[in-house]
Amino acid sequence: MTDNYVFGWHAVEAVLKREPDRLQQVWIQTGRQDKRVKSITDSLDELGVRWSVVHRKELDERVAGVHQGVVAAVSESREWSEDDLLAHMASPGVTPFLLILDGVTDPHNLGACMRTADAVGVQAVVVPKDKSASLTPVARKVACGAAETVPLVRVTNLARFLRSLQDAGVWLIGTAGEAAGTLYEADFRGPVALVMGAEGKGMRRLTREHCDLLVKIPMLGHVDSLNVSVATGVCLYEALRQRLA
Protein backbone atom coordinates (compact mmCIF):
# COMPACT_ATOMS: atom_id res chain seq x y z
CA MET A 1 0.00 0.00 0.00
CA THR A 2 1.08 3.61 -0.52
CA ASP A 3 0.00 7.01 0.60
CA ASN A 4 -0.28 8.00 -3.06
CA TYR A 5 -3.70 6.39 -3.46
CA VAL A 6 -7.04 8.18 -3.28
CA PHE A 7 -10.16 6.04 -3.01
CA GLY A 8 -13.91 6.46 -2.76
CA TRP A 9 -16.08 8.20 -5.38
CA HIS A 10 -16.20 11.63 -3.70
CA ALA A 11 -12.43 11.77 -3.18
CA VAL A 12 -11.57 10.60 -6.72
CA GLU A 13 -14.11 12.98 -8.28
CA ALA A 14 -12.66 15.86 -6.26
CA VAL A 15 -9.16 15.19 -7.64
CA LEU A 16 -10.58 14.82 -11.15
CA LYS A 17 -12.40 18.13 -10.86
CA ARG A 18 -9.82 20.27 -9.06
CA GLU A 19 -6.38 18.72 -9.64
CA PRO A 20 -6.68 16.44 -12.70
CA ASP A 21 -2.96 16.72 -13.42
CA ARG A 22 -2.30 14.66 -10.27
CA LEU A 23 -4.11 11.60 -11.62
CA GLN A 24 -1.82 8.82 -12.82
CA GLN A 25 -4.07 5.77 -13.11
CA VAL A 26 -7.56 4.73 -11.98
CA TRP A 27 -8.96 1.28 -11.21
CA ILE A 28 -12.73 0.63 -11.16
CA GLN A 29 -14.38 -2.47 -9.74
CA THR A 30 -15.96 -4.80 -12.23
CA GLY A 31 -19.76 -4.67 -12.41
CA ARG A 32 -20.09 -0.88 -12.20
CA GLN A 33 -21.78 0.41 -15.37
CA ASP A 34 -23.83 3.39 -14.17
CA LYS A 35 -23.82 7.04 -15.29
CA ARG A 36 -21.35 8.01 -12.60
CA VAL A 37 -18.77 5.56 -13.89
CA LYS A 38 -19.30 6.63 -17.50
CA SER A 39 -18.92 10.31 -16.57
CA ILE A 40 -15.61 9.62 -14.83
CA THR A 41 -14.22 7.32 -17.52
CA ASP A 42 -15.17 9.82 -20.26
CA SER A 43 -13.28 12.53 -18.37
CA LEU A 44 -10.29 10.26 -17.88
CA ASP A 45 -10.26 9.47 -21.61
CA GLU A 46 -10.28 13.20 -22.42
CA LEU A 47 -7.34 13.73 -20.06
CA GLY A 48 -5.45 10.72 -21.38
CA VAL A 49 -5.36 9.08 -17.95
CA ARG A 50 -5.18 5.29 -17.93
CA TRP A 51 -8.02 3.40 -16.31
CA SER A 52 -9.03 -0.22 -16.10
CA VAL A 53 -11.75 -2.47 -14.73
CA VAL A 54 -10.52 -4.95 -12.13
CA HIS A 55 -11.89 -7.41 -9.59
CA ARG A 56 -12.56 -6.18 -6.07
CA LYS A 57 -9.69 -8.27 -4.68
CA GLU A 58 -7.16 -6.10 -6.54
CA LEU A 59 -8.65 -2.94 -5.04
CA ASP A 60 -8.65 -4.52 -1.59
CA GLU A 61 -4.96 -5.27 -1.98
CA ARG A 62 -4.15 -1.68 -2.95
CA VAL A 63 -5.84 0.18 -0.10
CA ALA A 64 -7.09 -0.47 3.42
CA GLY A 65 -10.59 0.90 3.84
CA VAL A 66 -13.96 1.05 2.11
CA HIS A 67 -12.94 2.01 -1.42
CA GLN A 68 -16.49 1.89 -2.88
CA GLY A 69 -15.16 0.29 -6.04
CA VAL A 70 -12.74 2.98 -7.20
CA VAL A 71 -9.05 3.66 -6.48
CA ALA A 72 -6.79 6.25 -8.08
CA ALA A 73 -3.01 6.52 -8.06
CA VAL A 74 -2.06 10.18 -7.70
CA SER A 75 1.03 12.32 -7.39
CA GLU A 76 1.64 14.13 -4.12
CA SER A 77 -0.45 17.24 -3.59
CA ARG A 78 1.36 20.45 -2.74
CA GLU A 79 0.76 21.52 0.83
CA TRP A 80 0.73 25.20 1.67
CA SER A 81 3.67 26.57 3.62
CA GLU A 82 3.33 29.00 6.51
CA ASP A 83 4.31 31.82 4.14
CA ASP A 84 1.66 30.72 1.62
CA LEU A 85 -1.05 30.99 4.26
CA LEU A 86 0.14 34.33 5.61
CA ALA A 87 0.28 35.71 2.05
CA HIS A 88 -3.26 34.48 1.39
CA MET A 89 -4.50 36.13 4.57
CA ALA A 90 -2.99 39.43 3.47
CA SER A 91 -4.84 39.34 0.13
CA PRO A 92 -7.46 42.06 -0.43
CA GLY A 93 -10.94 41.11 0.71
CA VAL A 94 -9.85 38.10 2.77
CA THR A 95 -11.10 37.84 6.36
CA PRO A 96 -9.12 34.95 7.86
CA PHE A 97 -11.15 31.98 9.09
CA LEU A 98 -8.85 29.13 10.09
CA LEU A 99 -8.95 25.82 11.94
CA ILE A 100 -5.95 24.75 14.03
CA LEU A 101 -5.70 21.14 15.23
CA ASP A 102 -3.13 20.67 17.98
CA GLY A 103 -2.05 17.04 17.95
CA VAL A 104 -5.03 15.27 16.36
CA THR A 105 -3.48 11.90 15.52
CA ASP A 106 -6.43 9.86 14.24
CA PRO A 107 -6.70 10.11 10.42
CA HIS A 108 -10.46 9.54 10.65
CA ASN A 109 -10.79 12.60 12.88
CA LEU A 110 -8.53 14.67 10.61
CA GLY A 111 -10.60 13.72 7.58
CA ALA A 112 -13.87 14.52 9.36
CA CYS A 113 -12.50 17.90 10.49
CA MET A 114 -11.36 18.66 6.93
CA ARG A 115 -14.83 17.83 5.60
CA THR A 116 -16.53 20.20 8.07
CA ALA A 117 -13.90 22.88 7.45
CA ASP A 118 -14.74 22.80 3.75
CA ALA A 119 -18.48 22.96 4.47
CA VAL A 120 -18.23 26.15 6.57
CA GLY A 121 -15.69 27.98 4.39
CA VAL A 122 -12.52 27.59 6.45
CA GLN A 123 -9.60 28.80 4.34
CA ALA A 124 -6.95 26.43 5.71
CA VAL A 125 -6.40 23.78 8.38
CA VAL A 126 -3.18 24.12 10.37
CA VAL A 127 -1.47 21.19 12.15
CA PRO A 128 1.95 20.69 13.74
CA LYS A 129 4.38 18.57 11.71
CA ASP A 130 5.07 16.28 14.67
CA LYS A 131 2.50 14.17 16.52
CA SER A 132 -0.30 14.87 14.08
CA ALA A 133 -2.18 12.80 11.55
CA SER A 134 -1.31 13.32 7.90
CA LEU A 135 -3.50 13.10 4.81
CA THR A 136 -3.39 9.34 4.45
CA PRO A 137 -5.75 7.60 2.00
CA VAL A 138 -8.09 6.94 4.94
CA ALA A 139 -8.13 10.62 5.93
CA ARG A 140 -8.80 11.64 2.32
CA LYS A 141 -11.62 9.09 2.04
CA VAL A 142 -13.30 10.37 5.23
CA ALA A 143 -12.86 13.95 4.00
CA CYS A 144 -15.03 13.13 0.94
CA GLY A 145 -13.04 15.43 -1.35
CA ALA A 146 -12.34 18.20 1.17
CA ALA A 147 -8.66 17.23 1.31
CA GLU A 148 -8.46 18.44 -2.30
CA THR A 149 -10.21 21.76 -1.59
CA VAL A 150 -8.98 22.92 1.84
CA PRO A 151 -5.22 23.51 2.15
CA LEU A 152 -3.47 21.63 4.96
CA VAL A 153 -0.63 23.66 6.48
CA ARG A 154 1.93 21.70 8.52
CA VAL A 155 4.00 23.99 10.73
CA THR A 156 7.28 23.20 12.46
CA ASN A 157 6.64 25.29 15.56
CA LEU A 158 2.94 25.76 16.30
CA ALA A 159 3.43 28.25 19.15
CA ARG A 160 5.58 30.49 16.95
CA PHE A 161 3.04 30.30 14.13
CA LEU A 162 0.25 31.27 16.52
CA ARG A 163 2.24 34.39 17.37
CA SER A 164 2.52 35.14 13.65
CA LEU A 165 -1.25 34.86 13.33
CA GLN A 166 -1.75 37.22 16.25
CA ASP A 167 0.70 39.69 14.70
CA ALA A 168 -1.46 39.52 11.55
CA GLY A 169 -4.55 40.47 13.56
CA VAL A 170 -6.10 37.01 13.91
CA TRP A 171 -8.03 36.32 17.13
CA LEU A 172 -7.25 32.84 18.53
CA ILE A 173 -10.16 31.06 20.23
CA GLY A 174 -9.26 27.80 21.91
CA THR A 175 -11.49 25.13 23.44
CA ALA A 176 -10.98 23.78 26.96
CA GLY A 177 -13.35 22.02 29.32
CA GLU A 178 -12.31 24.22 32.25
CA ALA A 179 -12.92 27.52 30.43
CA ALA A 180 -15.19 30.01 32.19
CA GLY A 181 -17.15 31.11 29.13
CA THR A 182 -19.06 29.03 26.60
CA LEU A 183 -18.71 28.80 22.85
CA TYR A 184 -21.85 30.88 22.40
CA GLU A 185 -20.35 33.87 24.22
CA ALA A 186 -17.38 34.14 21.84
CA ASP A 187 -17.23 36.47 18.85
CA PHE A 188 -16.25 34.66 15.64
CA ARG A 189 -17.18 37.42 13.21
CA GLY A 190 -13.75 38.90 12.44
CA PRO A 191 -10.35 37.42 11.56
CA VAL A 192 -10.38 34.29 13.70
CA ALA A 193 -8.77 30.89 14.16
CA LEU A 194 -10.47 28.11 16.10
CA VAL A 195 -7.95 26.03 18.05
CA MET A 196 -8.90 22.44 18.92
CA GLY A 197 -6.86 20.11 21.11
CA ALA A 198 -5.89 16.48 20.71
CA GLU A 199 -8.16 13.54 21.36
CA GLY A 200 -8.36 13.10 25.12
CA LYS A 201 -5.51 15.39 26.18
CA GLY A 202 -6.73 18.63 24.69
CA MET A 203 -4.39 21.47 23.77
CA ARG A 204 -0.77 21.50 24.85
CA ARG A 205 0.25 24.09 27.45
CA LEU A 206 2.07 26.43 25.05
CA THR A 207 -0.82 26.32 22.60
CA ARG A 208 -3.29 27.11 25.36
CA GLU A 209 -1.17 30.03 26.57
CA HIS A 210 -1.16 31.60 23.11
CA CYS A 211 -4.95 31.63 22.79
CA ASP A 212 -6.65 35.00 23.21
CA LEU A 213 -9.79 33.35 24.57
CA LEU A 214 -10.74 29.92 25.91
CA VAL A 215 -14.29 28.61 25.60
CA LYS A 216 -16.13 25.39 26.37
CA ILE A 217 -19.03 23.55 24.78
CA PRO A 218 -21.91 23.25 27.28
CA MET A 219 -22.33 19.61 28.35
CA LEU A 220 -25.61 18.82 30.14
CA GLY A 221 -25.47 15.02 30.19
CA HIS A 222 -23.30 12.46 31.98
CA VAL A 223 -20.63 12.39 29.25
CA ASP A 224 -18.06 15.12 29.87
CA SER A 225 -16.52 15.45 26.40
CA LEU A 226 -17.15 15.04 22.66
CA ASN A 227 -15.10 13.40 19.97
CA VAL A 228 -12.75 16.04 18.54
CA SER A 229 -14.31 15.95 15.07
CA VAL A 230 -17.81 16.33 16.55
CA ALA A 231 -16.66 19.17 18.82
CA THR A 232 -14.98 20.84 15.86
CA GLY A 233 -18.23 20.64 13.89
CA VAL A 234 -20.21 22.20 16.74
CA CYS A 235 -17.74 25.08 17.07
CA LEU A 236 -17.31 25.74 13.35
CA TYR A 237 -21.03 25.91 12.73
CA GLU A 238 -21.50 28.39 15.55
CA ALA A 239 -18.74 30.44 13.92
CA LEU A 240 -20.48 30.17 10.55
CA ARG A 241 -23.81 31.19 12.07
CA GLN A 242 -22.23 34.38 13.40
CA ARG A 243 -20.30 35.11 10.21
CA LEU A 244 -23.42 34.72 8.06
CA ALA A 245 -25.34 37.09 10.33
Answer yes or no: is 197 a known binding residue.
yes
pLDDT the model gives residue 1: 42
**pLDDT per residue as tens digits for the range 35-51:** 888 999 999 999 999 99
Residue 214: DSSP 8-state: E
CA distances from 149 to 12, 51, 99, 105 (A): 12, 24, 14, 21
Specify the pTM.
0.80
177 is in an annotated binding site: no
Same domain, 13 and 92: no
Last residue of a domain, one of 48, 74, 100: 74
Check whether residue 70 and residue 105 sit in a common domain: no
Q: Rounded to an integer, what distance in angstroms lies between the CA atom of residue 22 and that of residue 24? A: 6
Q: Are residues 92 and 160 in the same domain?
A: yes
Give the domain range for residue 21. Answer: 5-74
135 assigned to a ligand binding site: no
Same domain, 64 and 139: no
57 and 102 co-located in one domain: no
Could you say which of 50, 74, 98 is where a domain stops?
A: 74
pLDDT digits (tens, 9 = 90+) for 200-237: 788 999 999 999 999 999 999 988 889 999 999 999 99
* Total number of domains constituting the chain: 2
CATH number at residue 34: 3.30.1330.30
Residues 27 and 87 grouped into a single domain: no
